[in-house]
Copies of this chain bind each other. A is one copy, B any other.
Amino acid sequence: MKHQDLIFSNDVASHLDALVEKYNPSKLFILVDKNTRELVLPILVNESKTASNASVITIEAGDTNKNIESLMLIWSQLVEGGATRKSMLINLGGGVVTDIGGFAGATFKRGIRFVNIPTTLLSAVDAAVGGKTGINFHGFKNEIGAFCEAEAVIISTRFLSTLSNEELLSGYAEMLKHGLISNVDTYNRLIAQDVTNIDAEQMLLLLQESVLVKKHIVEEDPTEKGIRRALNLGHTAGHAFESLALHRKSPIPHGYAVAWGLVVELVLSHMQLKFPSNELSRLATYIYENYGAFHITCDDYPSLIEFMRHDKKNDSANEINFTMLKNVGDIHIDCIATEEDIKTALDIYRDFMHI
């Protein structure tokens, strides 16, 4: 895997200027969505020498726009803006911008340099690092994409004040996941916090700890042949919740889906690997109190199981693959659960969520 500059700092503009000086791109492009164009780009343009000279490419905000049309718009504007192989693309935004911008960068002229500047907690802790890029296709999330690392990622808490509590909580769910797959100390630090009341400096420290958990796993297994699947904890059930919500035409934030997915998958971990019931109960309570509940009935089980079956993580169409834990930090990848087990776990999830 190529070396990646991972920069933790709230002085985003200076670091961006230094990267542009280092790589000396033939042309500089900044990808934003309509939200970050309004709320974040002006700050950067004001503070950075290089950002003010860049060509700006704008896409619509939201996961429904992480699609082939937005991708083609980016490619077209790169062509029309005279981008060469030595040009550089700055992805300034949340997960949608870093995922699609990363894929555009990975494929334009078979690959140009790109830098991620995540502006949401979720993208800082998850999407911006690790090289998974892509778009949704045919109703499936991230169905098309590539593994391609950003040249650099500038991680800050600088722009978190532009976020709602919902967006903060959404990102925090991935941090909880990183805690669960690392060690008890990290996990305890996280679960002790009131997310909506952390100061920026404290958050930058927690964020750095969390991103480094992910970075070390990705370095061991960049293309997810093995241990990288640890990062999928909560995501098989979580993606199914997300797909069901989309199907109901009332989408839920990714991190919320992961939070609820963590509960389901730790129930499965308890059933199959005896994950301690007190830890399970502590997490479920934290999730319920902070995230509320995603409402399902047993009538939803067949659709949820069907969505899980379509997950990229399955090696064959007949098995449903999960990452499970025997304890905090004790990871078991490639666990298979039967439909019966999953139904039981969904029953217990509903008990925890008071549904």
Chain A residues within 8 Å of B, Cβ to Cβ = 26, 68, 72, 75-76, 79-80, 82, 84-86, 106-111, 132, 134, 137-138, 140, 142-147, 223, 312, 314-317
Contact = CB atoms under 8 A, between A and B. Distances in A.
Contacts of A84: 312, 314-317
Contacts of A144: 75, 107-109
Contacts of A79: 137-138, 140, 143
A261 B157 CA distance: 54
Contacts of A107: 107, 134, 144-146
A86 B262 CA distance: 26
Contact of A146 (B68, B111, B138): B111
A314 B87 CA distance: 11
Q: Is the interface of A mostly helix, strand, loop or mixed?
A: mixed
Given A72-B68, A146-B111, A86 B26 contact: no
5 contacts: A75-B144, A85-B315, A86-B316, A106-B146, A110-B146
The 7 A-B residue pairs with the shortest CB-CB distance, nearest first, are: A110-B145, A79-B138, A109-B312, A26-B316, A86-B315, A107-B144, A82-B317
Contacts of A315: 26, 84-86
A310 to B, nearest CB: 9
A110 B138 contact: no
Given A26-B315, A84-B316, A110 B137 contact: no
A85 B79 CA distance: 31
Contact of A143 (B68, B109, B134, B140): B109
A78 to B, nearest CB: 9
Contacts of A110: 132, 134, 142, 145-147, 223, 312
